[in-house]
Homo-oligomer: A and B are copies of this chain.
Amino acid sequence: MKKTALVMAGGRGERFWPYSRRNRPKQFLSLTPDGKTLLQLAVERILPLVNIEDIYVGTHADYRGLVRHQLPDLPQENILCEPVGRNTAPCIGLGAMHIARKHQDALMLVLSSDHLAKYAPIFRDTLSEACQIAMKGDNLVTLGIPPDYPETGYGYIKFNSEISQGHAFSVDHFVEKPDLETAKQYLRSAEYLWNSGMFIWKVSSILSRFRQLMPELYAGLLRIQAAIGTESQTRTLQHEFAQFESVSIDYGIMEKASNIYVLPSSFGWDDVGSWLAMERTHATNESGNVVRGNFVTISTQNCILQGGDKLIATVGLKNLIVVDTQDTLLICDKENAQDIKKVLENLRICNRTEYM
């Protein structure tokens, strides 16, 4: 069966501020030593499995230019621009409608644009296996990552090990980000996986779920589909998206549908969730520093240092993140990396959006 993919690239992630900005969010940044952006890596990674003309990128209209620039080989009509962000359900619905218009039916891989898969061949094998399961009946398959520590920033999936399809297990239920105590229980129980936010299904399977479980969204998507290629395409898209509720695919479909399977997957998944990820993706030097830019470091240890041409001298620093850009500079203790969002709140309150 034809394999297609929707790479979701509409996020506005703020945790790499100030390297990430509203006009260039995380997926469009290079955060690995190869110089490629996360979006480029996300597409490159599946190319042996899916033809470039069958890959769709769902993004915000503001980022069309970035996607074109970073993926010059992608057919322009495969850049699906949401006029407003409405979370993942409308984005995935839009992708499914575009694919359904071209193919009787097809497999659809729904992938994130801003995560890493360290072991790409294993990742592709996992996707192939997920495709096998998704081809049967109307199964919806999600990839679950075996937790190796009690992370409180991810959603979890409780699986039922007694019902399986190949290596995948039936999903018992999804859970939102737990508190630390709960996360520790999950880890001990060995019955929970991290929710990777990646899905594999037939287009027909997901569309029938939209019809059953999100009928209003489905009706709007049908109107959008009917307008594709007509002169009212843009107007219809804008009109319908404005009406859509902001709902995640997890909440709108996955938590309510039947025949949901989770495939435990270990392909070196990394959500690249904060500046601390740089220490996983880059070699550290003999002082434990990750250095990109024009730095002179004196007695500086275990720092993440990112700059440009400007000369940056660090003296006596430990465990800091330094990120210099043209008009903004961040200096942040690693322990406080999650407080970068407070800087952005402050900028928002003070209406200094030019720095966001």
Residues of A within 8 A of B (CB): 18, 296, 298-299, 307, 310-317, 320, 322, 324, 327-333, 335-337, 339-340, 342-343, 346-347, 352, 355
Residues of B within 8 A of A316 (CB): 332-333, 335-336, 339
Residues of B within 8 A of A310 (CB): 327-329
Q: Which of A299, A313, A322, A327 has the most CB of B within 10 A?
A: A313
Residues of B within 8 A of A18 (CB): 311, 313
Residues of B within 8 A of A337 (CB): 315
A340 with B328: CB separation less than 8 A: no
In angstroms, Cα B330 to Cα A317, docked, is 11
In angstroms, Cα B343 to Cα A152, docked, is 41
B336 with A312: CB separation less than 8 A: no
A101 to chain B, nearest CB (A): 46
B329 with A313: CB separation less than 8 A: yes
Residues of B within 8 A of A333 (CB): 315-317
B313 with A328: CB separation less than 8 A: yes
B339 with A315: CB separation less than 8 A: yes
A342 partner, pick from B298, B317, B324, B328, beta carbons under 8 A: B298
B339 with A312: CB separation less than 8 A: no
In angstroms, Cα B331 to Cα A331, docked, is 9
B346 with A298: CB separation less than 8 A: yes
Residue on B with the closest CB to A352? B311
A345 to chain B, nearest CB (A): 9
A320 with B331: CB separation less than 8 A: yes
In angstroms, Cα B322 to Cα A337, docked, is 19
Residues of B within 8 A of A342 (CB): 298, 315
Residues of B within 8 A of A330 (CB): 312-315
Residues of B within 8 A of A328 (CB): 310-313
In angstroms, Cα B18 to Cα A314, docked, is 12
A100 to chain B, nearest CB (A): 46
Contact A329/B315 with A298-B343, A346-B298 known, Cβ cut-off 8 Å: no
B332 with A296: CB separation less than 8 A: no
A296 with B331: CB separation less than 8 A: no
Residue on B with the closest CB to A305? B331
B322 with A331: CB separation less than 8 A: yes
